[in-house]
Amino acid sequence: MNPSSFRSKSTVDVDEAIKNQNDIAMVVSKDLFSSKAKHSNSILIDGSSFFSEILSFLRASSTDELNAVFSKIVPVVFADRSANGGPKISSINGVWIEKTQPIDPSSKDLFENFFKAVFDRVDFLSKAEQVRRELNEWAEVHIKDLLPHGSLTDQTVVVYGNALYFKGQWEVPFDKSYTKDKEFHLLSGTSVSVPFMRSYKKQYIHAYDGFKVLSIPYRCDGDGNSGSFSMYFYLPDKNDGLDYLIKAMASTSGFLDCHVPSRKVAVNKFRIHYKKTTWILRKKS
């Protein structure tokens, strides 16, 4: 994402704010890939001071700062470009808070009007399991069994849920006839045979110390002012190098912006497992 596309007269440093959001995404990714979370698709945090800490987590000083930044970003990123051949992106959000907890009106406004989130008061104290099932029903269209049995208890204060939808077409589609089964290495140290998409064309790829970054652009809608989207693959050189790479990404501010392939090069061997892989979606102008 190019911050210069969202310049405004606001006193908020939009460039810095966008970089902060990228850094936050890396921190969350690190937690999801941690040893404690490898068998889970959620992160549970202490919500006793959730609303007072949410701004700190987002590295924003106020809701006004968030509005100044995201009012410039959201209309561009989430614009529906599918009618003209471009990608379509949408998201849903939900916040459920223990009904006995006090609510700051500004915090409620932040989630309902800014994040466009479902906001509900629930009974975690005596009906935690029932609430868990209701939350899983909310997320079922996007993610099955989001919250495992026992993940919510009478000590739970707040749950924040999010789902992102993206649909786009590659700028240069892969030839299905090139798809072949190859060995895919898992985090557990084992491997499985899976279908890989393959290409012999030049790619946006760059080799760094210990990993490579591959950028594959999506078809855009032809509007030069609306920017373009690419999927970025971060590929560690070692089969067991993903944890190390994620930690480096999370601990280095501005990591993503410093590791962006800028030109196409010839690639001797290039395969992508099309079912499941590690990727990050970025938008650039």
Q: Report the chain's mean pLDDT, rounded to a whole number.
A: 77
pLDDT tens-digit series, residues 71-117: 777 777 777 888 878 888 888 788 898 999 887 777 777 777 767 78
CATH number, domain with residue 211: 2.30.39.10
In the prediction, which pLDDT does 285 show? 44
pLDDT tens-digit series, residues 256-280: 888 999 899 888 655 555 444 444 4
Least confident residue range of 200-209, 219-228, 246-255 = 219-228
- Higher-pLDDT residue of 119, 16: 119
Residues 125 and 228 in one domain: no
Q: What is the rounded CA–CA span in Å between residue 171 and residue 217?
A: 6
- Higher-pLDDT residue of 204, 187: 204
The answer to whether position 194 is within a domain reads yes
Cα–Cα separations (whole angstroms), residue 238 to 182, 206, 211, 261: 17, 16, 8, 20
The answer to whether position 182 is within a domain reads yes
CATH number, domain with residue 28: 3.30.497.10
- Spacing of C-alpha 182 from chain mean position: 27
**Is the pTM here over 0.85, yes or no?**
no
- Measured in degrees and rounded to the nearest 5, phi and psi for residue 280 equal -135, 130
The answer to whether position 213 is within a domain reads yes
The answer to whether position 83 is within a domain reads no
* Domain hosting residue 245, numbered range: 176-284
Residue 158 pLDDT exceeds 70: yes
Q: What is the rounded CA–CA span in Å between residue 218 and residue 235?
A: 19
In the prediction, which pLDDT does 39 show? 52
Residues 265 and 218 in one domain: yes
- Higher-pLDDT residue of 64, 14: 64
Residues 135 and 249 in one domain: no
Residue 43 pLDDT exceeds 70: no
Considering the chain, what percentage of its residues have pLDDT values greater than 70? 71
Long-range contacts of 13-22 (CB under 8 A, 24+ apart): 14/68, 14/69, 14/72, 17/59, 17/60, 17/65, 17/68, 17/69, 18/69, 18/73, 19/253, 19/254, 19/257, 20/58, 20/59, 20/60, 21/58, 21/59, 21/69, 22/254, 22/255, 22/256, 22/257
Residues 145 and 180 in one domain: no
Answer with the one of 134, 167, 200 that is the final residue of a domain: 167
